[in-house]
Structure 1
Amino acid sequence: MFSRDRWQEIFQSIGKNKLRTFLSGFTITLGILIFTILFGFGNGLKNTFQEFFVDDATNTIWLFPGRTSKPYKGFATNRRIEFRNDDVSDIKEDFTMYLDYISPRISRGGMAKYKGESNTYTTRAVSPAYQFCEKTIIMKGRYLNENDIKEKAKHIVIGRLVEQDLFGKENALGKFLDIDGIVYKVIGVFQDDGGDNEERLIYMPYTTRQLIEKNTDKIDQIIVGFKLGIGYSGAMAFERSLDKYMRNKHVIAPDDQNGIFIRNVADQVKQTLQFAGILQMVVAFVGIGTLLAGIIGISNIMVFVVKERTKELGVRKALGASPGSIVGMVLQESIFITTIAGIAGLVIGMGILNFVGVSLEEFFIKNPYVDTSTVVKATLLLIFFGALAGYIPARRAARIKPIVALRDE
């Protein structure tokens, strides 16, 4: 293996057969390169699906009122369902074993003004528990608390970009903001990993919004956070129980698909990640197919290479070379070429992933990467089959009698 003479022979052989060596190495490099890129893209797709849920809690169930599409128990069809404050308190009381937190939500648009600056923003009237749902990060001040709800305080928590838009370099904390003619005190500034749209929101107590809207007790949606300990099956059971409970309370037919809508984030996350996993498997399958094509290619090339060198091997045997030394030389050359080409494909592939990674986000491929161990294993696999591809024909050629080998054309 470490014979200087043998290495000299190998490099002489490579130098005399540049095209053959290039084709052999190119097959290996291309196989590893394509495998690395495809596998990295598969991981990038999976990252995109996971990133989709990063800014919100995954243990939430959202309830939306609708309009009935069927008559039921004396009530006419097309009846509008309305959620109220007692729905929140009843769920809190009757589903304690499942419940982690619960919050109503009322969404409205509004024109916000501060001094000479103004802009239109979405306001969300919520309870303090809503912070857990959106994973809101407080930068300054505080979030809404129970006293704000109880006192129906004109307090707001604004997004980072709202402060930037209206207040510039001025600290918004403690300042007063006019929203549709009503003045609110800014008690907090938040940031959100969900992006710019999430950071242009304004939160206020839901009781304050209800007071403004003629002291109503209506709410738009209910967000229920369930305990993580109940698991996926428990979350699905909770969803079914909650659906039945709300249908009974609001007199909605069990098979009415439009009376009430429920979105279970846990179920969506599972389905999405399963889909991402399938995509990754498909991409990996294509990558493995590329590896197999590389293996077949290098095998065919090595068969041709050994056949081409039959006369040379015959001369070596005639001069006293043993079959083992001949096989060892061909095997060492095959492993050397395969290793160098495989490492080149690995380096080029990972370099391409690092170079194009950020630019692929618009194609829903975020931070494409591939584990080093994965591509190293793939490279070792190709090296093994490259060695095997060289060993089998070399062993066959080493058994040929010198006189027969010398007659080969």
Structure 2
Amino acid sequence: MFDLDRWIEIFQTLSKNKLRTVLSGFTIAFAILLFTLLFGVGNGLKHTFEKQFAADAQNSVYIRSGRTTKPYKGLQSGRRIQFRNDDIKFINEKFEDKIEFFSPNIERNNVQVIYKGEQNRYTIRGVYPDYQPLESAVIQDGRFLTYLDLERRAKVIAIGRLVEEDLFGQLSALGKNINIEGISYKVVGVFNDPGGDRDERYIYTPFTTLQGIYKPNDEVDRFGLTFNPKLNVEKALAFSNLLQKLLKEKHSVNPRDQGAIRVSNYAERTKGVQQFMVVLNVIILFIGIGTLIAGIIGISNIMVYIVKERTKELGIRKALGATPKSIVGMIMLESIFVTALAGYVGLLIGVFTLKAIGKTLEGYGILNPSVETYVVVGATIVLIIAGTIAGYIPAKRAARIKPIVALNDE
């Protein structure tokens, strides 16, 4: 039950001992402040890595070709490996049960794009509709490409958000026609991409459309696909290794040739990132626990000192009729009140500091440093419990001292 007289007494005690109250509160506030800052910076590092790997689907596989570096079956090194449409059928037939999304890709870099008086240069890609989840592109206006566009070889495009801003300003690009190297394309969609500015300056058009214009011999630049999410990392890596092996056999490439056909599996990268994140989480947790331990030690020492300093005061209270239970309860309430208030102040200062320096830290690779409220509240509760325990033991001992002994204490 709320006892107004008790709280008036507590506030009077705190106001008469301002220095003691401020020092104990400062220790707690500083511990929570440091805890908040360290956790915030640690989370900022996590956010940085999460953004770095948000550009593409984490189960993506990309297949690129190059030149052979070793002779094989009578063929000389330096031979250019060229993918064609029959490779599309080959990959899908061999790995139908392991592929989730699949798209061949033709890419033209630095093409001139014109809309009325505005012009710029961008990269245009000819892809299947399945390419959208590979790039984690999110449609914000209109639609992405469809298989009907693919079948009709339609001259339609989906453009990145920044392409729209560059060419159309505040106007919507949807339904407008733009000129790409002398050919008119209709904008059917505008997308944004978590990968950032670079990925939002791409233009996508149906694979068959771009191939018909620039690749009359059914050439394909590369392939992108996502493997079945049910595959674990080991099975996903085994899948991509087998895929590379079979493509090398099909194109008569030496099995030890690393340059002719390259398969990049994000599963391997994801595995490394996950391992790093585990280590980072352990480091953050270790730092957080260390900070809390330092705070607990600090508040424990202060509480022991406070109770020792108040021995005479406690003796007087007993002489005036205060029970041991009331004395212990008063000290506990003081401890809990000061710890909770100081912890909240430390939290506010920490959160404000993280927001104030957030932009500055981005220059050091720390993105959006922040800390979940429940984490800091939990840390404050731990300190409150520690302060309560630290105060209870000496308070219990002091409450048992006879008034005459307490009054003679030096």
TM-score (norm 2): 0.87
Give the structure 2 partner of residue 271 of structure 1: 272
CA distance in 1, matches of 2:171, 2:379: 56
> Offset of 1:303 from its aligned partner?
1.6
> Offset of 1:391 from its aligned partner?
1.5
Residue identity in the other structure for 2:298: G
1:190–1:199 contact (8 Å) kept in structure 2: no
1:295–1:382 contact (8 Å) kept in structure 2: yes
Query: Mean alpha-carbon deviation: is it higher for 292-301 or for 392-401?
Result: 392-401
Query: Mean alpha-carbon deviation: is it higher for 146-155 or for 102-111?
Result: 146-155
CA distance in 2, matches of 1:190, 1:340: 50
CA distance in 2, matches of 1:257, 1:285: 42
CA distance in 1, matches of 2:83, 2:41: 44
Query: Mean alpha-carbon deviation: is it higher for 41-50 or for 80-89?
Result: 41-50
> C-alpha deviations, 1:107-131, integer Å up to 9, x for none?
2221223343321111112223222
CA distance in 2, matches of 1:6, 1:163: 67
Give the structure 2 partner of residue 302 of structure 1: 303
> Offset of 1:286 from its aligned partner?
1.2
CA distance in 2, matches of 1:213, 1:200: 21
CA distance in 1, matches of 2:66, 2:98: 25
> Offset of 1:246 from its aligned partner?
1.6
| Structure 1 position 281 matched with structure 2 position 282 | yes
CA distance in 1, matches of 2:126, 2:358: 39
> C-alpha deviations, 1:342-373, integer Å up to 9, x for none?
22223333444455556654444444443333
2:38–2:284 contact (8 Å) kept in structure 1: yes
Distance 1:38 1:169, change over 3 A: closer
Distance 1:248 1:171, change over 3 A: same
Note the aligned Cα RMSD (angstroms): 2.9
| Structure 1 position 99 matched with structure 2 position 99 | yes
Distance 1:207 1:354, change over 3 A: same
Give the structure 2 partner of residue 375 of structure 1: 376
Give the structure 2 partner of residue 329 of structure 1: 330
Give the structure 2 partner of residue 237 of structure 1: 238
**Gaps in structure 1 of 5+ consecutive residues:** none
Distance 1:239 1:313, change over 3 A: same
> Offset of 1:103 from its aligned partner?
1.2
> C-alpha deviations, 1:31-74, integer Å up to 9, x for none?
12222232233333333333334453233211122333333343
CA distance in 2, matches of 1:256, 1:42: 41
2:299–2:387 contact (8 Å) kept in structure 1: yes
Distance 1:214 1:323, change over 3 A: closer
Give the structure 2 partner of residue 127 of structure 1: 128
Query: Mean alpha-carbon deviation: is it higher for 232-241 or for 14-23?
Result: 232-241
SS in structure 2 of the partner of residue 229 of structure 1: coil
Residue identity in the other structure for 1:372: T
> Offset of 1:136 from its aligned partner?
3.5
Distance 1:9 1:209, change over 3 A: closer
CA distance in 2, matches of 1:260, 1:48: 31
Q: How does 1:308-319 map to 2 (within 5 A)?
A: 308-319=309-320
Give the structure 1 partner of residue 16 of structure 2: 16
Report how many aligned residue pairs link the two structures: 408
> C-alpha deviations, 1:185-217, integer Å up to 9, x for none?
224232122333323222233344444446133
1:176–1:184 contact (8 Å) kept in structure 2: yes
Residue identity in the other structure for 1:98: K
2:34–2:350 contact (8 Å) kept in structure 1: yes
SS in structure 1 of the partner of residue 225 of structure 2: strand
> Offset of 1:169 from its aligned partner?
6.1
CA distance in 2, matches of 1:22, 1:267: 53
Give the structure 2 partner of residue 222 of structure 1: 223
Distance 1:359 1:248, change over 3 A: same
Distance 1:20 1:174, change over 3 A: closer
CA distance in 1, matches of 2:172, 2:393: 76
Distance 1:191 1:293, change over 3 A: same
SS in structure 1 of the partner of residue 231 of structure 2: helix
2:158–2:191 contact (8 Å) kept in structure 1: no
> Offset of 1:22 from its aligned partner?
0.5
Percent identity over the alignment? 53
CA distance in 2, matches of 1:44, 1:337: 30
Residue identity in the other structure for 1:189: G
Residue identity in the other structure for 1:201: Y
> C-alpha deviations, 1:121-162, integer Å up to 9, x for none?
111122232223224344555544445545555443333433
SS in structure 2 of the partner of residue 228 of structure 1: coil
1:39–1:280 contact (8 Å) kept in structure 2: no
Distance 1:9 1:277, change over 3 A: same
> Offset of 1:10 from its aligned partner?
2.5
Give the structure 2 partner of residue 165 of structure 1: 166
Give the structure 1 partner of residue 394 of structure 2: 393
CA distance in 1, matches of 2:148, 2:299: 74
Residue identity in the other structure for 2:328: V
Distance 1:240 1:403, change over 3 A: same
Distance 1:131 1:320, change over 3 A: closer
CA distance in 1, matches of 2:227, 2:17: 69
